[in-house]
Amino acid sequence: MNIFFVLLLLFAAAIGNGAENFTSFTEKDGGGDITVTSTKSDVTTMIRNTDSCVSEDYGAGNFTTFVHDIEAYYSFQDTYGLGGIYYVGDTDGCTVAVFNTIDHGFGSWFYNGRLYIRNAANGNEDYGAVSISTLYYLTYERTGSTQKCYIYSDSGRTSLVDTLEVTYDGAAYQYLGVTFSRESSAVPSDAISFYVQNLDLNEAATTPEVGYPQIIICE
């Protein structure tokens, strides 16, 4: 005689990693301007000449080929105010001054009404005009011999505003940052207010996907 019964209900985490948790990142806040929550790094009038950074160590050589999504917005900017919103590199605690001297890195920042990307090793740089008080949906990508930033105006990433591109230097990166300043010795002390949020590394899930209740049939 067969006996059928439900043994276990099992629900697991959603598929994919989703947004990274910024509260686990290392925060260096030279001017006391940064407020970090789980998925957002919010910066209020960060001056140019300070040393600030929000970053994480993902392990040596972790980032090679990648597609990283993040959202960024700036609400105030003096003429020379600079706000770093993304970087991957082989050095931690990155300001733009440090970034420009490291062996390998790929970074991006708001400056003078533009969004910049730059490869630290070879000096390749590109930029595009961006508007104040506008939320941009950004995709940073490294494939083949190029590193790109796709700038979108919508959350579905279907309305492309601009594509920025630099030459890849062949490096694998260890650290990732979502907020950084120019440097403490920079002049003048112009400021910027901005935020970044919802960083998705688009990596394989480390936990099972959500499923239906598991039904084990015993005979």
Higher pLDDT, 25 or 79: 25
Residues 139-167, mean pLDDT to the nearest whole number:
96
Q: Model's pTM, two decimal places?
A: 0.82
Over residues 86-135, the pLDDT tens digits come to: 999 888 767 666 666 666 889 999 998 999 999 988 889 999 999 999 99
Residue 213 pLDDT grade (very low, low, confident, very high; cuts 50, 70, 90):
very low
What does DSSP assign to residue 33? -
Tens-place pLDDT, residues 161-181: 999 999 998 889 999 999 988
Closest of 131, 55, 123 to residue 86, by C-alpha: 55
Which domains are delineated in the chain?
1-16+207-219 (no CATH), 23-200 (2.60.120.200)
- Hey, is 48 helix, strand or coil? coil
What would the DSSP string read from start to end of 142-201? EETTEEEEEEESSTTS-SEEEEEEEE--S--B-EEEEEE-S-TT-SS--EEEEEEEEEE-
Averaging pLDDT over each range in 62-71, 82-91, 168-177, 206-215, which range is the top one?
62-71
Summary mean pLDDT of the chain: 82
